[in-house]
């Protein structure tokens, strides 16, 4: 079982770094924040009058989340109950084991390298390794109507309303049936995988309202399971067993799916309650039997272990913990207030920022890197992607919530053995981080999975950000240096050994074979992509500086590779207005028809990330950066962009001084958020949370500025929003 997520895991005094804007806050400051955060946050509480068929209302704690329909439960729509620990393996193909998988050998700079790619001669075990393990939906909880209301649908409910109090983490839902008001309050404990619910209705008094629990089977047949997860029809493929425990107010359901077993502990108020199983199903009904009360409270705890408590906290105790955790979350760290700007764009950015902060704490503050859809539904079988970890989680530090990042950042230590083995198997030094991963550290087979490289320098971004923020706050930088040293050393060793010395050009090349960020170029001819080259420069530069800070000499190989990497590739294009030839960066070296081929100017415009997401390095020419940004704005097919693309473009525009352009990218028509703040997917199902987390990273950069040492021409680090906006920001530190 995962560690308890006690309130102290957020910490009442998180890192609060050097601040800009209207107020300076530090852990020792006796003065409260100048912004009325509760007022700003509460202004954007989501409300619904009907269920959405694409996204739920959600409550959760980062490792565990509960998605609901309009009833505050899952009465009419089987939204997910997802967790960090809930995984399932389907049966292996007949007469096979994972060790039967051999991958494929590809020529890589005059030698054969074995990569974890699906082998056409081993199709079944290749696909099994891709799809297993897969994340499971732990169950479904809904209202069970009795009597004449037994077959009621959502359309039969009147006066439906729902409000999520994001400042306190409390969901309240209301409706009436024949004049009988029903109110449901739904919360999740911040410290355990527990849902707590209070029902208030005259239907309880009449014995016409109960609660059902249901369990689906888990399947590896679907790469994407959205909006709902699990197979609800394969009843015979799994088993559930009911056990009564406690003093008549507690029960346990054991759910077994092949070799996966987990437990649900139910506890309720009152004693005159029955639990029955619906025949030929895995549905159980908890029925209060008219015990002269209009209220019924229950808690539901999910656990992978058979050590459930004999008693658990009451609803009142859990709601108090919930309120304390969420109010602390909002009161600490950084905050930006755009509400005094009479501007629809500012209002929409503020809404997105507030709801993203809530949803990322619910979905992406767990003990593993998050999957793209968080804990809402499943994408890529529920696995997470190491190249996306930076976009998912880099925002925690500049927003002053490093303890939430620390929940999952240990993944790099956990994955050291498998990553070092991967590098060794391929003939490289150090370690090679995988891509599409499960908590064990195994990377799923795939051509793109095996050849992608931009996840490798992420550790340097995380480490350098933590170091700079700790230094600016007067924190213990020696601890930070020691914490990251081994990981950075092994990562730099790989990056140096991966770079190939090209004797004909006297530079180090990256690739081929490789895939760049956009994953849409021919791998055997993709060489020296712009973003990856700049990121290699950045990572190796941090690696050398890290050793110097520790009073150590960096390996000469790191310096030689860093100083002799291939130059960032360029090409001329014609300015359609002036007819002048303009030099810009390109996606990769030798790409044909960079700005005239419609298949080239699509998907992730990663070449803008070299000056925005990344600080400038000696490899960067700012004139070319500006020309490239202008060409992207003019020629890129933004209808093919999605998620984090637009915040990345905004960061590029902001660092170039184009704050109006930055704002427009943050509200681009292809960068949408729904009514509850879920980022709308385009190439992947909704929600696509890297859009939310990248938004927060971009806003942190605009609110806090960046390190003057990396951009001496811009000394004004006031919030970088349009001049006519009234912006207040507190608690932000300067980014890299």
Q: Distances from the Cα of 347 to the Cαs of 340, 623, 671, 719, in angstroms?
A: 9, 34, 16, 16
Q: How confident is the model at residue 713 (pLDDT cuts 50, 70, 90)?
A: very low
Stretch 305-325: mean pLDDT, rounded? 85
pLDDT of 4 strictly over 60: no
Quote the mean pLDDT of the chain.
92
Strands (DSSP E) along 258-412, which ranges?
A: 260-268, 273-277, 284-288, 295-303, 335-337, 384-385
Q: Tell whether 506 is covered by a domain.
A: no
Write down the residue that tokens 């020629």 correspond to: 635
Return the pLDDT at 708.
54
Residue closest to 301 by CA, chosen among 211, 447, 197: 197
pLDDT for residue 717: 46
Whether the predicted pLDDT of 246 surpasses 70:
no
CB 377 within 8 A of CB 227: yes
Q: Is the pLDDT of residue 718 over 90?
A: no
Q: Are residues 266 and 360 in the same domain?
A: no
Of 574 and 736, the one with more pLDDT: 736
**In this structure, is residue 683 part of a structural domain?**
yes
The count of other CB atoms within 10 Å of the CB of residue 71 is 23
pLDDT tens per residue, range 333-348: 999 999 999 999 999 9
Residue 230 CB neighbour total at 10 angstroms: 24
Which pLDDT tens digit goes with each residue over 564-619?
999 999 999 988 778 889 999 999 999 999 999 999 999 999 999 999 999 999 99
Residue range 194-203: mean pLDDT, rounded = 97
> Is 422 part of a structural domain of the chain?
no
Q: Which of 312, 331, 350 is the last residue of a domain?
A: 331
Verify that 368 and 235 share a domain, yes or no: no
Strands lying side by side in the sheet with 284-288: 140-145, 209-214, 284-288, 273-277
Residues 42 and 2 in one domain: yes
Q: Which residues pair with 135 in a beta bridge?
A: 87
Within a domain: 597: no
pLDDT at 707 over 80: no
Please name the residue that has the structure tokens 């009843």: 235
Please give the pLDDT value at position 371. 98
Residue 136 confidence (pLDDT) above 50: yes
Residue 470's H or E segment, with its range, is helix 458-472
Confidence of residue 18 (pLDDT cuts 50, 70, 90): very low
Return the sign of the alpha-carbon dihedral for residues 376, 377, 381, 385. negative
Q: Output the CA–CA distances (angstroms, integers) from residue 3 to 6, 407, 507, in the order listed.
A: 9, 10, 48
373 and 303 in one domain?
no
Q: Rounded to an integer, what distance in angstroms lies between the CA atom of residue 600 and that of residue 591?
A: 9
433 pLDDT band (50/70/90 cuts)?
very high
Rounded CA-CA distance 336/428 in Å is 45
How large is the greatest C-alpha to C-alpha distance in the chain, in angstroms? 88
Instruction: Note whether 341 and 301 are same-domain residues.
Output: no
With bands split at pLDDT 50, 70 and 90, how would you rate the model's confidence at 22?
very low
Verify that 197 and 337 share a domain, yes or no. Answer: no
- Determine contact, residues 445/458, Cβ cutoff 8 Å: no
Answer yes or no: is 227 within a domain: yes
Please give the angle made by the CA atoms of 654, 459 and 418, to the nearest 5 degrees.
145
Residue 719 has what pLDDT? 60
Domain CATH number, residue 162: 2.70.98.50
- Alpha-carbon torsion 651, 656, 662, 664, what sign? negative
- Rounded distance, CA 702 to CA 612, Å? 11
Q: Is residue 122 part of a domain?
A: no
Count: domains in the chain = 2
Per-residue pLDDT, 293: 82
Whether residues 145 and 248 share a domain: the answer is yes
Mean pLDDT along residues 414-429:
98
Average pLDDT for 289-302: 88
| Of 298, 314, 331, the domain-final residue | 331
Model confidence at 29: pLDDT above 60 = no
**Whether residue 314 sits in one domain with residue 393:** no
Helices (H), 293-343: 315-331
Listed residues 331, 346, 364: the one ending a domain: 331
Mean of pLDDT values over 437-442: 96
> By three-state DSSP, how is residue 725 classified?
coil
Question: Tens digits of per-residue pLDDT, 682-702?
Answer: 889 999 999 999 999 999 999
Are residues 286 and 189 located together in one domain of the fold? Answer: yes
Q: pLDDT tens for residues 480-493?
A: 999 999 999 999 99
Whether 242 and 266 map to the same domain: the answer is yes
Percent of the chain past pLDDT 90, that is, above it, reads 87
The reported pLDDT for the residue numbered 587 is 97
Please indicate, yes or no, if residue 375 is contained in any of the structural domains: yes
Residue 23: pLDDT band by 50, 70, 90 thresholds? very low
User: Residue 51: pLDDT above 90?
Assistant: yes
Residue 122: its pLDDT value, please? 97
- Three-state SS for 199? strand
Q: What is the pLDDT of residues 524-570, one digit of tens each?
A: 999 999 999 999 999 999 999 999 999 999 999 999 999 999 999 99
Q: Which domain holds residue 183?
A: 56-86+136-331
| Amino acid 105: pLDDT | 98
Q: Of the given ranges (104-118, 239-253, 589-603), which has the lowest mean pLDDT?
A: 239-253
Q: Indicate if 42 and 68 belong to the same structural domain.
A: no
Examine the pLDDT at 3 and tell me if it is beyond 90.
Answer: no
Q: Answer with the residue of higher pLDDT: 28 or 617.
A: 617
In a domain, 471, yes or no: no
CA angle 506, 509, 513 (to 5 degrees): 145
pTM flag (> 0.85): yes
Q: Do 216 and 312 fall within a single domain?
A: yes
* pLDDT over 80 at 12, yes or no: no
pLDDT of residue 245: 72
Residue 89: pLDDT band with limits 50, 70, 90 = very high
């Amino acid at each position: 079982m995962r560690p308890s997520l006690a309130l102290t895991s957020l910490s009442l005094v998180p890192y609060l770094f050097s601040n800009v804007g209207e107020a300076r806050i530090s852990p020792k400051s006796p003065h409260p924040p100048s912004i009325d955060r509760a007022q700003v946050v509460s202004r954007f509480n989501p409300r619904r009058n009907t269920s959405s068929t694409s996204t739920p209302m959600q409550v959760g704690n980062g490792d565990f989340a509960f998605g609901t329909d309009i009833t505050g439960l899952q009465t009419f729509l089987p939204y997910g109950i997802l967790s960090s620990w809930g995984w399932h393996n389907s049966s292996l193909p007949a007469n096979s084991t994972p060790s039967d998988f051999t991958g494929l050998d590809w020529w890589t700079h005059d030698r054969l390298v074995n990569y974890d790619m699906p082998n056409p001669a081993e199709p079944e075990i290749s696909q099994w390794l891709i799809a297993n393990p897969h994340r499971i939906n732990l169950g479904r909880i809904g209202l069970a109507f009795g009597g004449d209301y037994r077959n009621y649908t959502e359309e039969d409910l009147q006066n439906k309303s729902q409000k999520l109090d994001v400042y306190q983490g409390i969901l309240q839902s209301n409706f009436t049936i024949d004049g009988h008001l029903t109110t449901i309050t739904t919360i999740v404990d911040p410290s355990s995988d527990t849902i707590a619910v209070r029902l208030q209705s005259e239907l309880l008094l009449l014995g016409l309202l109960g609660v059902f629990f249901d369990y689906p089977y888990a399947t590896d047949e679907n790469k994407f399971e959205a909006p709902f997860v699990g197979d609800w029809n394969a009843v015979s493929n799994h088993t559930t067993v009911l056990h009564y425990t406690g003093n008549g107010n507690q029960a346990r359901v054991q759910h077994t799916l092949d070799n996966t077993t987990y437990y649900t502990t139910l506890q309720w108020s009152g004693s005159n309650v029955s639990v029955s199983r619906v025949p030929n199903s895995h549905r159980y009904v908890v029925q209060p039997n008219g015990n002269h009360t209009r209220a019924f409270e229950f808690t539901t705890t999910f656990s992978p272990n058979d050590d459930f408590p004999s008693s658990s906290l009451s609803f009142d105790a859990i709601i108090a913990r919930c309120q304390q955790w969420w109010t602390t979350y909002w009161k600490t760290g950084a905050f930006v207030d755009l509400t005094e700007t009479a501007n629809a764009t500012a209002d929409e950015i503020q809404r997105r920022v507030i709801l993203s902060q809530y949803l990322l704490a619910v979905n992406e503050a767990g003990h593993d890197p998050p999957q793209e859809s968080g804990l809402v539904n499943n994408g890529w079988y529920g696995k997470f992607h190491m190249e996306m970890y930076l976009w998912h989680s880099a925002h925690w530090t500049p927003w002053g919530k490093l303890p939430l990042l620390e929940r999952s950042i240990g993944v790099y230590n956990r994955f050291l053995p498998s990553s070092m083995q991967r590098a060794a198997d391929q003939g490289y030094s150090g370690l090679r981080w995988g891509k599409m991963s499960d908590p064990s550290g195994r990377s799923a087979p795939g051509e793109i999975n095996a050849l992608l490289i931009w996840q490798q320098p992420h550790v340097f971004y995380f480490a350098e950000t933590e170091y700079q923020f700790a230094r600016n706050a007067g924190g213990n930088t020696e601890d930070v240096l020691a914490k990251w040293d081994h990981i950075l050393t092994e990562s730099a060793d790989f990056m140096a050994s991966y770079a190939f010395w090209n004797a004909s050009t006297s530079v180090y090349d990256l690739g081929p074979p490789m895939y760049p960020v956009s994953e849409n170029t021919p791998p055997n001819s993709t060489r020296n992509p712009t973003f990856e080259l700049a990121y290699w420069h950045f990572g190796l530069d941090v690696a050398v500086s890290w050793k110097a800070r520790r009073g150590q000499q960096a390996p000469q190989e790191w310096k030689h590779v860093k100083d002799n990497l291939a130059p960032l590739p360029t090409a001329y294009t014609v300015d359609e207005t002036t007819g002048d030839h303009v030099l810009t960066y390109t996606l990769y070296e030798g790409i044909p028809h960079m700005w005239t081929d419609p298949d080239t100017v699509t998907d992730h415009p990663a070449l803008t990330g070299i000056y925005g997401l990344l600080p400038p390095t000696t490899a960067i020419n700012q004139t070319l950066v500006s020309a490239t940004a202008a060409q992207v704005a003019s020629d890129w097919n933004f209808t093919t962009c999605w998620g984090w693309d637009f915040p990345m473009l905004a960061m590029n525009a902001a660092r170039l001084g184009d704050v109006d352009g930055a704002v427009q990218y943050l509200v681009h028509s292809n960068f949408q958020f729904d009514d509850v703040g879920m980022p709308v997917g385009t190439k992947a199902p909704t929600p696509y949370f890297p859009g939310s987390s990248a938004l927060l990273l971009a806003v942190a950069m605009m609110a806090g500025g960046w390190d003057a040492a990396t951009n001496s021409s811009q000394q004004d680090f006031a919030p970088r929003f349009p001049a006519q906006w009234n912006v207040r920001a507190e608690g932000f530190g300067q980014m890299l």
